[in-house]
């Protein structure tokens, strides 16, 4: 059962200007350590950050909160499954909100797709409630 859907598009040039203006302060405020490590290794560093920005925005929409109601940037982080497929790892207020969306007896699964085509980065997030006994090899299991 689908319990949340969110999408976002980010202008890579805007993220680049923000990185130039605020540098590490922006990166530390918004991105998890995993996201920082992944983006800093990329040849297209700014596009990598922009995709993760869009994923966080899309996730906050799928949670139905936006960036309020106890949900903040660093509580939503793009991580990759062993296959390389992206998903979101939620902590703090974002994890609490996720639990409120999932009916008893079901478990959450967060589907993420991210892409970029300069000058834009885009993300879609779908939150699904599945039977608890369904095998899943995500970041939390």
Q: Tell me: is residue 33 an annotated ligand-binding position.
A: no
Closest-CA residue to 124 (of 88, 81, 80, 84): 88
Query: How do beta strands 86-90 and 76-80 pair?
Result: antiparallel
Q: Tell me: is residue 117 an annotated ligand-binding position.
A: no
Q: Rounded to the nearest 5°, which phi and psi values hold at 8?
A: -155, 150
Q: Are 81 and 137 in contact (CB under 8 A)?
A: yes
Paired with 10 in beta bridges are 121
Closest-CA residue to 136 (of 112, 114, 116, 107): 107
Residues making up the annotated binding site are 8, 57
Residue positions forming the annotated binding site for Mg(2+): 8, 57
């Amino acid at each position: 059962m689908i319990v949340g859907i969110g999408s976002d598009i980010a202008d890579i040039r805007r993220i680049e200007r923000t990185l130039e203006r605020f540098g590490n302060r922006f990166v530390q405020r918004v991105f998890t350590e995993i996201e920082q490590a992944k983006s800093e290794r990329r040849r297209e560093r700014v596009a990598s950050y922009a995709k993760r920005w869009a994923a966080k925005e899309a996730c906050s929409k799928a949670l139905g909160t936006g960036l309020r109601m106890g949900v903040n940037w660093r509580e939503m982080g793009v991580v990759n499954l062993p296959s390389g497929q992206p998903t979101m790892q939620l902590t703090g207020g974002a994890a609490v909100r996720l639990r409120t969306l999932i009916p008893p007896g079901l478990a959450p699964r967060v589907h993420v797709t991210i892409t970029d085509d300069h000058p834009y980065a885009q993300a879609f997030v779908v939150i699904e409630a599945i039977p608890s006994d369904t095998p899943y090899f995500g970041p939390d299991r």
